[in-house]
Amino acid sequence: MILNGVEIRDNFAEAFPMVGTRLIVTADTPEWALTAGRTTTGFATSVIGCGCEAGIERTLSPEETPDGRPGVSLLIFAMDFGSLKKVVPLRLGQCVLTCPTTACYAGVEGGKRVPLAKTIRYFADGHQISKKIGEKRFWRLPVMEGEFVCDEDTGSVEGVGGGNFLILARSRAAALHASEQAVAAMGKVEGVILPFPGGVVRSGSKVGSKYKGLFASTNDAYCPTLRGTRPSALPPEVGSVLEIVIDGFSFEAVSEATKVGVAAVCAVGAEGGVVAVDAGNYGGNLGPFHFKLREIMKDSAGGTA
């Protein structure tokens, strides 16, 4: 399959079940909401080293938030519910509670409950105030700046982590430009985040290593500087490869994000230096979710098989 001169390889991304939640963080200004969002989702690129994967889903206008102030919606994913219950209050306590003017609300209604203020309310040392009207409880914590308002807990969903595609380009600049276009387009898809820096990974990994104790190591088949020395997946004209990793609330959301992202890369096209789009997997036996690139892109306009 070739779209705008870009080869869509007959490959699939292999993804895993993850448990995710959404937080709505608001602040007095959009800038401070974004600061809180970036801090809370910082150091959360991969569960392997960070304990969770997190990102800013999108920014919210004052009309969309519970308290009528500008905000951001954040998605946080972990491998299981137990770890999610640990990482969310930690990040809430260190990154949202501490950030000037913020408040934090539940962004998911259903599913198992992930504690928010339920855990960090004790920071208020007995001065915390609870309000439960209807079914929802929120807390007010007196802090030096004023009051921190936070919902009791938030819901969770069984999501999908590790959807991905690889952008094979002639040069580093071309790969970077194509990936930036993809990230911008994918930001409009609801229910997904791209947990890596700026949404892009430059150091995709393979499973295992020659060194004992390392679970993952550089994906040598896609390293352009190793071409010829190792079995390579790169044709001679490829000079740089970047990967985009997607975590989402559902298979459909990740699939949609993949479609939008690959379409944006193809729009840059061969003229923009993109050679091919590929995907990362482990043979298909490890992860239950398979995102087959050609199937996802089959009804994209202008395609030739």
Partner 1 sequence: MSGVSLKPRAPFAARVDLSGITPAVTCPLTLRELEHLPVPHGGRSVKLAELFFIEGAPDGVLLIEIGDERLDGVGAGMTEGELIVDGRVGAWAGRGLSGGVLRIAGDAGDFLGAEMSGGRIELAGTAGARAGAAGSGSRRGLSGGVLKIGGNAGPRAAERQRGGLIVIAGDAGEGLATDMIAGTVSVAGAIGPLAGRGMKRGTIIAQARPELPAGFVDTGVHELVALRLMARRVAELAGPLNGWTSARRLVGDTLMGGQGEVLVPG
The distance of closest approach from Cβ of residue 280 to partner 1 in the complex, given in angstroms and rounded to an integer, is 43
The distance of closest approach from Cβ of residue 95 to partner 1 in the complex, given in angstroms and rounded to an integer, is 18
> 18-37 mask for partner 1 (x: CB under 8 A)?
--------x-----------
Give 101: exposed, middle or buried? Use CB within 10 Å, 0-12, 13-18, 19+.
middle
The distance of closest approach from Cβ of residue 134 to partner 1 in the complex, given in angstroms and rounded to an integer, is 7
The distance of closest approach from Cβ of residue 68 to partner 1 in the complex, given in angstroms and rounded to an integer, is 5
The tokens 């921190």 sit on which residue?
Answer: 148
The distance of closest approach from Cβ of residue 21 to partner 1 in the complex, given in angstroms and rounded to an integer, is 19
Q: Does 301 bind partner 1 (CB under 8 A)?
A: no
Give 144: exposed, middle or buried? Use CB within 10 Å, 0-12, 13-18, 19+.
exposed
Q: Which two tokens stand for residue 114?
A: 């992930």
Q: Does 129 bind partner 1 (CB under 8 A)?
A: yes
Q: Which stretch binds partner 1 (CB under 8 A): 50-58, 132-140, 168-176, 273-281?
A: 132-140
3-class SS at 114?
Answer: strand
CB 27 within 8 A of CB 71: yes
The distance of closest approach from Cβ of residue 114 to partner 1 in the complex, given in angstroms and rounded to an integer, is 19
Please state the φ and ψ torsions of residue 184, each to the nearest 5 degrees.
-60, -45
Which residue number, 68 or 235, has a Cβ lying nearer to partner 1?
A: 68
Which residue number, 25 or 192, has a Cβ lying nearer to partner 1?
A: 25
For 219-260, list the strands marked E by DSSP: 240-248
Q: Tell me how far apart the alpha carbons of residues 167 and 85 are, in angstroms, rounded to a whole number.
A: 35
1 CB neighbour count, 10 Å cutoff: 17
Which residue number, 155 or 303, has a Cβ lying nearer to partner 1?
A: 155
Please choose, from the candidates 278, 255, 263, the residue with its C-alpha nearest in 3D space to the C-alpha of residue 204. Answer: 278
Q: Tell me how far apart the alpha carbons of residues 221 and 226 are, in angstroms, rounded to a whole number.
A: 8
Q: Does 132 bind partner 1 (CB under 8 A)?
A: yes
- Among 82, 110, 125, 133, indicate the residue that binds partner 1 (CB under 8 A): 133
Q: Which two tokens stand for residue 11?
A: 């490959």
Q: Strands 192-193 and 240-248, how do they pair?
A: antiparallel
Which residue number, 25 or 169, has a Cβ lying nearer to partner 1?
A: 25
Which residue number, 40 or 281, has a Cβ lying nearer to partner 1?
A: 40
Q: Which stretch binds partner 1 (CB under 8 A): 45-53, 135-143, 200-208, 217-225?
A: 135-143
Q: Does 122 bind partner 1 (CB under 8 A)?
A: no
**CA distance to 51, 87, 160, 284, per residue, from 82 (Å):** 11, 9, 17, 26
Which residue number, 145 or 237, has a Cβ lying nearer to partner 1?
A: 145
Q: Tell me how far apart the alpha carbons of residues 281 and 222 are, in angstroms, rounded to a whole number.
A: 13
Q: Which stretch binds partner 1 (CB under 8 A): 13-21, 92-100, 130-138, 218-226?
A: 130-138
- Among 90, 127, 214, 215, indicate the residue that binds partner 1 (CB under 8 A): 127
* Positions 84 through 113 that interact with partner 1 (CB under 8 A): 103
Q: Which amino acid is at 278?
A: D
Cβ neighbours of residue 100 under 8 Å, at least 6 residues apart?
Answer: 27, 28, 32, 145
Q: Does 147 bind partner 1 (CB under 8 A)?
A: yes
Return residues touching partner 1 (CB under 8 A). Answer: 26, 66-69, 103, 127, 129-134, 136, 138, 140, 146-147, 149
